């Protein structure tokens, strides 16, 4: 053993001492490796657990909260939805194609292990500015990795978001959300119980890929990170498709005690976590594990993150059922050990015992740290932004420039590479506020959205994170749904840095506050720390993935204007706010200012107003106001049907804030003249400010006397901007 | 009428086609497992889209050796209707039930979008409910849909009116296929392969909102009903 062997396992000297103390002896090489991954941030959440305990996780619809492979909510009729978001940032930074592909594979497994058939994927991506070769390589690689895996396995990629900012240049973010449908009675759990029950490994054979990936993900990226490429797993979507079908077939036979995906830390974490959940132990003989390569050591077999594998505890006597189903799909299914009742994880290699550790110690007793927090220096220097601080000569050009900035531009180049229609449930696909997925045989549907604005979270983490929740809910409402619950993908820099930890703590507080107010509990999620490159930390980026329910497909609403002559209303209030806006960054190259205010009471009422109007079936379109401001959001509603607008707003605020400010809690709707008074009544009843701001007409975009453009010209710029940069 | 939809390992549109036949058209429809050696009593066999065998080696190249292909080839040779959609089209090419070959899309990227097509031949079991020369819309979703055939083969396709569907023009051709070909049949007209997905546009409710795929299935049903139980029993 080298000097201080714990260092290469990512453990501190103190943690090593704890381990010696807990075991009452020095750990073996395999044991130390096991501790290294199990006590890594990725598996143990040791730096985040204490903060995450404060999240709002309870609600009427919650069937399974955080702690399992994925959370589950009730959607009525005996049906349930399992969903979760997960990051694969570090692997994607060093090997974008495989990193992103296996990110998709990993989250899909989390969903079908719960007994749910995955029916939709979304992804939330962050890259540096597109004018740089390395960023383009990462961007293309990630998109094609997601496309390759998701398309092949036959789950539609129906939505998501992509932002470009230099803060993500060395460390892109790849967060994938998967959503599955199940019958309530088929909920599976990841528990190992019942002395003498068999432990089986099913799916792919184990190889030497992805060894110690969990530890790799729990460190900052450096110039040498490309040396860690062997820590990136290689995905096989074909194998996963077989595994998915076999697993769901098996779960339907009611032959299982427990089933768990082998994700981060492979066999180690799946066995320790399953045993710990069932207050049991597990004994494994690693010589029985099917391997792809000869002479793999016990260390390698225990720590491999080879993809497309599951650990299964069948009910007594049901081993053959498992084997028959997996053999039908040409997959391995081998008994590799048994459940015991003394709580110990014992690893044998044939006759030799190579590790013996209490499962509880590994899975639940990792140290928990409350890291130091400090108000970041830059926050003290955030300035108020006045409209006069932004120089502009021509609002026509400003609008065109915003529409062709990659963050705002159409993401067609991305989503046309994703199969967003397979399974034939996609009622509203990518490019609207939220995707809408029908549930065959029922009139109801799901609305799905992911949201986060890293700039807001950088300038004010608490408010920025709350806005992410509010915007996700607004998107759901605009699509005709009722917001139900969220999953959170928390992406931050190094938690040892007190300023980063402050960002983290405040973001979680913001999420909690908004979730409570909007009654959308967190049912699971993922923390990704150490998102730093030599250039510094990323913007704090808590990504909110939200699921909502449309009671009826009649409620389906899109953002597109539909009829000439329809009136356009803005529900909510325009405020003089330019801080953190896309406009400010475009014109002045600055990320500065006070993040738009968020009054959660007003937010709730605005959402209620639009939801009631949709239920009354009176409005023809609804679109959330977000990045780029009202001018950009109106333009987005014009494009699909090539309809123009004539906007006349009595202004109480500056032209710049009116056009491009990003005030929250605003929704643009269109409605026929005859029904407009009904909408006004609903708004008044809910004490919500509103304004009739214009009419859908012609093929030109006219806004007061400030902007006059052809919709076609705007659309071409918006649609081709990303492609032109590549 | 009885229809069968084949599930190869890696098929992923099998359930979609099944849904349309069974729930939209109320046809007696069964799933056929790729290891089955006996298929009897069918009027229509559909090879669905997806990534059979992961599309490894070449799309469709391994699936053609699946056990179920022998009876399907037999069924086709006896005049049974075989519809190959997307990956199913690729498998039909690999098993020589249709002429030509498939290349990777000319822009080397997977493409999923709605396309505008022209019905070139509506005198087939698969398009008799479509208007000739009509522009119809159907979505595509593939990485290898760049249909190719040599000069002689192309001439033959044209002479025998085997080209059934074309992308409307070069501009909307999503993959670079020769002569904008989107779907062809065999000389006998009972085997049809196409890259677009009719099962994804048989209900107006779902994206892309058009339902021109409906007419492909209703053509088949109309043909079989007229023909009665004469062939392939």
Q: What is the pLDDT of residues A379-428, one digit of tens each?
A: 999 999 999 999 998 999 999 999 999 999 999 999 999 999 999 999 99
Helix (H, G, I), strand (E, B) or coil at B38: coil
Tell me, what's the pLDDT at A265?
Answer: 79
The rounded distance, in Å, linking the Cα atoms of A565 and A567 is 6
User: Are the beta carbons of A429 and B207 separated by less than 8 Å?
Assistant: yes
Closest CA to A485 of A436, A551, A546: A546
Going by DSSP bridges, is the β-strand pair B28-33/A707-710 parallel, antiparallel, or unpaired?
Answer: unpaired
B56·A238 Cβ contact <8 A: yes
pLDDT digits (tens, 9 = 90+) for A202-259: 999 998 876 766 666 666 766 666 566 566 777 889 999 999 999 999 999 999 999 9
Residue reference for tokens 């020769």: B178
What is the C-alpha separation between A428 and A23, in angstroms, rounded?
A: 55
Which residues make Cβ contacts (< 8 Å) with residue A627, sequence separation at least 6?
A407, A408, A453, A581, A582, A662
Q: Which fold has domain B2-227?
A: Rossmann fold (3.40.50)
pLDDT band of residue A30 (cuts 50, 70, 90) is confident
Query: What's the confidence (pLDDT) of residue A71?
Result: 97
> In this structure, are residues B165 and B174 in contact, taking their beta carbons and an 8 Å threshold?
no
Higher pLDDT, A650 or A526: A526
Element (H, E) at B222: helix B213-227
The Cα A406–Cα A627 span in angstroms is: 12
State whether B54 and A420 contact (CB < 8 Å). Answer: no
- Tokens (6 digits) for B165: 């569907």
Residue spans of beta strands (DSSP E) within A308-452:
309-314, 332-340, 344-349, 352-358, 426-428, 435-438, 445-451
Distance from CA of A159 to the nearest CA of B (A): 13
CA distance A674 to chain B (A): 27
A105, A157, A413, A422: best to mutate for the B interface, most B CBs within 10 A: A422
E-assigned strand segments in B157-211: 163-167, 181-185, 191-194
Kindly report the CA angle at B181 between B177 and B182, in degrees rounded to 5? 100
Q: Quick one: closest CA in A to B199, which residue?
A: A424
Counting every residue written for chain A, the total comes to 726
CA angle B191, A416, A697 (to 5 degrees): 110
Mean pLDDT of chain A: 94
Residues of B in contact with A422 (CB under 8 A): 12-13, 16, 49, 141, 200
- As a whole number of angstroms, the distance between CA A451 and CA B173 comes to 34
Measured CB to CB, residues of chain A less than 8 Å from chain B are: 144, 147-148, 151-154, 236-239, 241-242, 329-330, 415-429, 438, 440, 553
Q: Tell me, what's the pLDDT at A2?
A: 61
SS3 assignment, position A545: strand
User: Cβ separation of A416 and B113 shorter than 8 Å?
Assistant: yes
Q: Please spell the DSSP secondary structure of A97-140, one letter per residue.
A: HHHHHHHHHHHHHHHHTTTPEEEEEEEEEEES-TTSHHHHHHHH
- What's the rounded mean pLDDT across residues A661-680? 98
Residue B188 · residue B82 · CB < 8 Å: no
pLDDT for position A489: 97
CB atoms under 10 Å from CB of A185, counted, come to: 9
Structure tokens at A342: 């003394």
Topology of the domain comprising A377-725: 60s Ribosomal Protein L30; Chain: A; (3.30.1330)
Rounded average pLDDT over A277-299 = 92
Phi–psi pair at A448, nearest 5 degrees: -130, 135
Do A427 and B205 count as a contact with CB atoms less than 8 A apart?
yes
If chain B, 233 residues long, is cut into consecutive pieces of 10 residues, what is the mean pLDDT of each piece? Answer: 96 98 97 93 97 93 95 96 98 98 96 97 96 94 98 97 98 98 97 98 90 96 83 42
DSSP B159: H
All residues of chain A having their beta carbon less than 8 Å from the beta carbon of residue B143 are 151
Chain B residue numbers touching A240 (CB-CB < 8 A): none
Span A334-383, pLDDT tens digits: 999 999 999 999 999 999 999 999 999 999 888 999 899 999 999 999 99
Kindly give the residue spans of alpha helices, DSSP state H, lying in A479-599: 498-518, 582-588
pLDDT of residue A535: 87
Give the count of alpha carbons within 13 A of A402, CB side only: 29
Among the partner-chain residues B15, B53, B110, the one whose CB lies closest to the CB of A151 is: B110
The answer to whether A88 touches A125, Cβ cutoff 8 Å, is: no
pLDDT of amino acid A496: 93
Facing A438 at nearest CB: one of B15, B141, B206:
B206
Q: Rounded CA gap, B135 and B127, in Å? A: 13
Tell me the shortest Cα–Cα distance from A241 to chain B, in angstroms: 6
- Closest Cα of chain B to A550: distance in Å? 14
Mean pLDDT value across residues A73-87 = 97
pLDDT digits (tens, 9 = 90+) for A525-556: 999 999 998 889 999 999 999 999 999 999 99
Beta-carbon count within 10 A of B179 CB: 16
Q: Do B141 and A421 touch (CB under 8 A)?
A: yes
The catalytic position among B130, B185, B199, B201 is B199
Q: How far does Cα A183 stand from its chain's mean position?
A: 24
Q: Catalytic pick from B13, B86, B130, B201?
A: B86
**Which residues of B have a CB under 8 Å from any CB of A?**
9-10, 12-13, 15-16, 19-20, 23, 49-51, 53-56, 109-113, 139, 141, 143, 197, 199-200, 203, 205-208
Q: Which residues lie closer than 8 Å to A47 by C-beta, 6 or more apart? A: A41, A369, A371, A495, A501, A529
Structural domain spans, chain B: 2-227
d(Cα B13, Cα B20) in Å, to the nearest integer?
A: 11
Contacts of B54 in chain A (CB under 8 A): 152, 236-239
Q: What is the pLDDT of residue A67?
A: 86
- Contacting residues of A for B199, CB less than 8 Å apart: 424
Q: Quote the CA–CA distance of A306 and A289 in Å, as a whole number.
A: 12
Contacts of B50 in chain A (CB under 8 A): 154
- Pairing between strand B2-7 and B28-33? parallel
Query: Do the chains contact at B51 and A152, CB–CB below 8 Å?
Result: yes
**Model confidence at A441: pLDDT above 50:** yes
Hey, are the CB atoms on B9 and A242 less than 8 Å from each other?
A: yes
Q: How far apart are CA A546 and CA A435, in angstroms?
A: 11
Comparing alpha-carbon positions, the chain A residue that sits nearest to B52 is A238
Distance (Å) from the alpha carbon of B158 to chain A's nearest alpha carbon: 32
Cβ atoms within 10 A of the Cβ of A654, count? 16
For residue B208, is the peptide bond before it cis, meaning its omega torsion is within 30 degrees of 0?
yes
From A244, which residue of chain B is nearest by alpha-carbon distance? B10
Helices (H) and strands (E) in chain B, counts: 5, 11
Q: What residue of B is the nearest CA neighbor of A239?
A: B54
**Radius of gyration of chain B from Cα atoms?**
16
Share of chain A above pLDDT 70, in %: 97
Catalytic pick from A42, A90, A560, A623?
A: A42
The domain ranges of chain A are 9-39+188-368, 377-725
CB atoms within 10 A of CB A368: 13
Instruction: Name the token pair of B7.
Output: 């599930």
Are B141 and B49 in contact, with CB atoms under 8 Å apart? Answer: yes
Question: What does the pLDDT read at residue A224?
Answer: 62
The dihedrals phi and psi of A373, each to the nearest 5 degrees, come to: -120, 150
Q: What pLDDT score was predicted for residue B233?
A: 36
Residue ranges of alpha helices (H) inside A195-333 are 213-216, 237-251, 266-277, 298-303, 319-328
How many Å lie between the alpha carbon of B156 and the closest alpha carbon of chain A?
Answer: 34
**Contact residues on chain A for B206, CB-CB shorter than 8 A:** 421, 424-427, 438
pLDDT of residue B232: 40
Beta-carbon separation of B206 and A151 below 8 A:
no
Chain B residues lying within 8 Å of A181, measured CB to CB? none
Residues 6+ apart with CB under 8 A from B171: none
Mean pLDDT of A266-275: 92
Assigned token pair, A245 = 């079908």
HEC letters along A36-58: HHHCCHHHHCCCCHHHHCCCCCC
Check if B199 is active-site.
Answer: yes
**Architecture (CATH level 2) of domain A9-39+188-368:** Alpha-Beta Complex (3.90)
Contact A152 B54 (CB under 8 A): yes
Asked if A30 and A302 count as a contact pair (C-beta separation under 8 A), the reply is yes
Structure letter (DSSP) for residue B22: I
Identify whether the C-beta of residue A289 lies closer than 8 Å to the C-beta of residue A328.
no
Q: What is the DSSP letter of A492?
A: -
- Looking at the DSSP bridge assignments, the partners of residue A447 are A436, A548
Pairing of strands B44-47, B81-85: parallel
């Amino acid at each position: 053993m080298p000097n201080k062997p714990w260092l290469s396992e990512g453990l501190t000297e103190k943690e090593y001492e704890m381990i010696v103390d807990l075991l009452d002896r020095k750990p073996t090489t395999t044991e130390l490796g096991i501790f290294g991954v199990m006590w890594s941030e990725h598996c143990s959440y040791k730096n985040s657990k204490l903060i995450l305990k404060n999240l709002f996780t309870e609600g009427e619809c919650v069937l399974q909260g955080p702690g399992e492979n994925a959370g589950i909510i009730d959607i009525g009729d005996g049906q349930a939805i399992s969903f979760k978001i997960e990051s694969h940032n570090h692997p994607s930074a060093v090997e974008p194609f495989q990193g992103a592909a296996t990110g998709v594979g990993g989250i899909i497994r989390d969903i079908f292990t719960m007994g749910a058939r995955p029916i939709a994927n979304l992804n939330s991506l962050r890259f540096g500015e597109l004018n740089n070769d390395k960023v383009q390589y990462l961007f293309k690689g990630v998109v094609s990795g997601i496309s390759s895996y998701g398309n092949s396995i036959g789950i539609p990629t129906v939505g998501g978001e992509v932002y470009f900012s230099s803060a993500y240049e060395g460390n892109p973010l790849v967060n994938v959300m998967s959503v599955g449908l199940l019958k309530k009675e088929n909920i599976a759990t990841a528990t190992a119980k019942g002395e003498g029950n068999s432990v089986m490994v099913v799916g792919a054979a184990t190889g030497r890929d992805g060894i110690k990936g969990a530890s790799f993900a729990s460190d900052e990226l450096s110039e040498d990170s490309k040396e860690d490429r062997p820590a990136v797993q290689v995905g096989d979507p074909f194998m996963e498709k077989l595994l998915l079908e076999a697993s769901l077939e098996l779960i339907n036979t009611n032959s299982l005690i427990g089933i768990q995906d082998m994700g981060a830390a492979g066999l180690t974490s799946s066995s320790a976590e399953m045993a710990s959940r069932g207050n049991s132990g597990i004994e494994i003989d690693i010589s029985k594990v099917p391997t792809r390569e000869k002479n793999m050591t016990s260390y390698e077999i225990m720590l491999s993150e080879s993809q497309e594998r599951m650990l299964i505890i069948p009910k007594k006597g049901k081993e053959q059922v498992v084997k028959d189903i997996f053999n039908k799909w040409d997959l391995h299914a081998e008994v590799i050990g048994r459940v015991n009742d003394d709580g110990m994880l014992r690893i044998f290699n044939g006759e030799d015992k190579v590790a013996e550790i209490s499962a509880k110690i590994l899975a639940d007793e990792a140290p928990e740290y409350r890291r130091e927090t400090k108000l970041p220096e830059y926050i003290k220097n955030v300035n108020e932004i006045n409209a006069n601080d932004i120089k502009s000569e021509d609002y026509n050009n400003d609008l065109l420039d915003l529409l062709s900035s990659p963050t705002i531009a159409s993401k067609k180049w991305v989503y046309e590479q994703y199969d967003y229609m397979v399974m034939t449930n996609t009622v509203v696909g990518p490019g609207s506020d939220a995707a809408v997925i029908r549930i065959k045989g029922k009139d109801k549907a799901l609305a799905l959205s992911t949201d986060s604005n890293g700039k807001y979270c950088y300038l004010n983490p608490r408010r920025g994170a709350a806005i992410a929740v509010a915007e996700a809910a607004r998107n759901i409402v605009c699509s005709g749904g009722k917001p139900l619950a969220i999953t959170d993908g928390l992406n931050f820099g190094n938690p040892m840095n007190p300023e980063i930890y402050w960002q983290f703590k405040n973001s979680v507080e913001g999420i909690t506050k908004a979730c409570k107010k909007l009654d959308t509990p967190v049912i699971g999620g993922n923390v990704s720390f150490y998102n730093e490159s030599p250039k510094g930390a990323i913007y704090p980026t808590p990504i909110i993935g939200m699921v909502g329910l449309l009671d009826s497909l009649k409620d389906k609403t899109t953002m597109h204007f539909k009829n000439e002559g329809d009136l356009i209303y803005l529900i909510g209030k325009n405020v003089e706010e330019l801080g953190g806006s896309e406009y400010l960054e475009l014109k002045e190259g600055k990320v500065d200012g006070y993040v738009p205010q968020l009054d959660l009471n007003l937010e709730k009422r605005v959402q209620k107003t639009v939801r009631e109007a949709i239920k009354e079936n009176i409005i023809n379109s609804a679109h959330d106001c977000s990045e780029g401001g009202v001018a950009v959001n109106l333009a987005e509603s014009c494009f699909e049907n090539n309809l123009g607008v004539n906007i006349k707003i009595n202004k109480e605020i500056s032209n710049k804030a009116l056009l491009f400010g990003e005030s929250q809690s605003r929704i643009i709707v269109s409605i026929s003249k005859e029904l407009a008074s009904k909408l006004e009544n609903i708004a008044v009843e809910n004490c919500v400010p509103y304004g009739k701001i214009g009419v859908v007409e012609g093929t030109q975009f006219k806004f007061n006397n400030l902007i006059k453009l052809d919709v076609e010209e705007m659309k071409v710029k918006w649609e081709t901007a990303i492609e032109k940069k590549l | 009428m009885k229809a069968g939809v084949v599930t190869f390992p890696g098929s992923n549109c099998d359930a979609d086609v099944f849904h349309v036949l069974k729930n939209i058209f109320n046809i007696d429809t069964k799933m056929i497992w790729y290891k089955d050696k006996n298929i009897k009593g069918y009027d229509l066999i559909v090879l669905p889209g997806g990534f059979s065998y992961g599309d490894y080696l070449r799309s469709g190249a391994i699936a053609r050796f699946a056990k179920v292909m022998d009876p399907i080839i037999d069924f086709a040779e006896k005049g049974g209707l075989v519809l190959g959609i997307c990956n199913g089209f690729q498998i039909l090419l690999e098993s020589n039930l249709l002429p030509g070959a498939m290349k990777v899309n000319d822009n080397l990227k997977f493409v999923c979008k709605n396309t505008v097509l022209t019905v070139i031949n509506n005198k087939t079991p698969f398009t008799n409910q479509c208007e000739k020369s009509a522009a119809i819309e159907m979505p595509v979703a593939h990485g290898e849909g760049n249909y190719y055939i040599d000069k002689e083969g192309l001439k033959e396709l044209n002479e025998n009116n085997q080209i059934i569907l074309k992308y409307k023009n070069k501009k909307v051709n999503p993959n670079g296929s020769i002569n904008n070909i989107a779907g062809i049949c065999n000389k006998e007209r009972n085997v049809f392969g196409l890259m677009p997905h009719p099962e994804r546009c048989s209900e107006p409710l779902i994206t892309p909102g058009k339902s021109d795929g409906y007419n492909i299935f209703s053509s088949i049903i109309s043909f079989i009903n007229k023909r009665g139980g004469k062939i392939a029993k």
